[in-house]
Amino acid sequence: MTTTPPWPAPGSGPRVLRSVRGAPPNPGLSDRLATDRLTTDRLVADRGASDRYAPQRREELASFLRSRRGRITPHDVGMPPGPRRRTPGLRREEVAQLAGVGVTWYTWLEQGRPINVSGQVLDAVARTLRLDAAERVHLFRLADVAPPPSTGDASVDLPPEVRGILDGLDPLPAIVTNTRSDVLCWNDAYAALLPGIVEAAPPRRNTFWFAFTTPPCCNPLRNLDEQAAEYVAILHYRYSQHVGEPGWQEFVQGLSEASELFARLWATHDVAPPRPCDKVYHYPATGEIDLRATHLDLSDRTGVRLTVLTPVDEASRTRLAWLRAHPEAARPDHAH
């Protein structure tokens, strides 16, 4: 039996929906167009800055390639050392041969000349020079080519200290997710707040899947209608880095089939960058718990982020603490 919380039972009257603090609910078309214009202006400005620093970037690229080439010996790649070798590592023509590119083209690339570079060719160079994941991304950025996408799946190898960070944030609910919002790990406070997410098996252990497919009678998220459009726009923004990846394709298709609301919003092709947002959860024993979701990227894991839920007022803080002590109150009283 659930312990009665130390406050009056929540009222049964109509609820006034709240939008993200500091932003109007359901922004109209004019607001979206204005945002799109601002985003375009920033992209143009960024491109101008990128072009302005192109010579320095190419110089850095040349130095980087020479340093990576110098650390690989012919023996490392199964080539004979040859007589009178003065180069500490591979020669340029050897890199070109192993990568399957022209000697002149690779020489110009290493000299920092302004030549066209494709991602496929850079991939071949990266494999030849035995670059690790960070070095590979660095190479693409210096060559001004979109970095290759991260895996974005649920098999990310998290460092052990992440668990300590999550436990240290308790009693604030906190999780670590990937770009698709698969929940990779969580603390006890989050499990008390949202047992339906953490007890689900991958790939259903996902905040989007929970929000859009849980029946209304069992879904504690009460402001989904207000923020669903922005949630999907943010997911679409992340999806652009993973187009064609089987895991993402299956996830989007499955969620579109399971949720008419998600399918309709996904079809708009709206995009928005991630930002802090308010989430309103409701349980019969506590009433509403207003939380602000703040996302922090993990610097050594591309696309992986830490999300912390912080109460926005003292009443929510008190109710969250009570729920943390009585986690059974967050479980539905029936099954589907």
How does the average pLDDT of the chain come out, rounded? Answer: 82
Cα separation, 117 vs 114, in Å, equals 9
The span from the first CA to the last CA of the chain, in angstroms, equals: 21
Q: What is the pLDDT of residue 49?
A: 45
Structural domains of the chain in order of their starting residue, each with its CATH number: 44-142 (1.10.260.40), 153-330 (3.30.450.180)
| pLDDT tens for each residue of 27-46 | 443 444 344 444 444 434 44
Please state, in angstroms and rounded to a whole number, the distance separating the CA atoms of residues 63 and 265.
Answer: 46
Q: What is the pLDDT of residue 164?
A: 92
What's the pTM?
A: 0.62
Residue 112, sorted as left (phi over 0), alpha (psi -120 to 50) or beta, turns out to be left
pLDDT tens for 286-315 read: 999 999 999 998 866 777 899 999 999 999
Q: What is the pLDDT of residues 204-244, one digit of tens each?
A: 999 999 999 999 999 999 999 999 999 999 999 888 777 77
**Could you tell me how far CA 217 lies from the centroid of its own chain?**
29
Q: What is the pLDDT of residues 86-127, one digit of tens each?
A: 767 888 999 999 989 999 999 999 898 888 888 888 988 988
Q: What is the torsion angle, in degrees rounded to the nearest 10, for the CA atoms of residue 256, residue 16, residue 18 and residue 186?
A: -60
What Å distances lie between residue 109 and 103, 115, 118, 131, CA to CA?
A: 10, 7, 12, 17
